[in-house]
Amino acid sequence: MCGRFWASLTWEEYRELLDLKSEPPETNFRPNWNTAPTHDVLICAERDGERRIEQMKWGLVPVWMKDKPKFSTINAKAETIEEKATWKGSLNKMRCVIPISGFYEWRRGPGKSKQAYAIKRSDGHPMLLAGLWAFNDKVDPDHPRTFTIITCPANEVMGAVHDRMPVILDPGDVGLWIGPEPWGDAHRALLKSCPDEWLTAYPVSNDVGSVRNNYAELIDPEGDPIF
């Protein structure tokens, strides 16, 4: 799954990474070192033929829903997005990319203990997560645009921490993923784990478990990388 991440990108990094031509959104681009569900997040989608960065709330609310979801919609399993009504309505025209610096995951230890890990790209580049978004101004008029992160079974190295991971796109596939082409086999082919060599993971403070903690030191290593 993917339930916590951090993003510390500048506008210049967003623009270069995603080849943006639009003006920056009205935000100060302040880093969020502990992004959690319900937070506003900067995502990239294509509308009217133009790539745009805009804020959306994490936790997708489909257009047909009349009340807040009674189940978690922060992640969508790649294996079932074509089957479940929650996601199906977004597949054709509401695909998005979530640019992040890295994500956190917890590895089970002896008994009930867990250790937090930071997972990021080994080359230091940002991650581009595959997502879906939706518009619903009835349930929460203040946050009509919402999104979810698509997950898939973990690759071999990520499996040392958790059995699932977010779908991390190659920058060269962003055009296809957020472009206007209707959902098809080319999109399905992207819903897979990234190559093992893309990732590195190392233990961090379990203070990241509290969303009230939000500071750069959360990503400081507290041990050697496990991959």
Instruction: Just list the catalytic residues.
Output: 2, 105
Is the torsion defined by CA of 187, 192, 193, 196 positive or negative?
negative
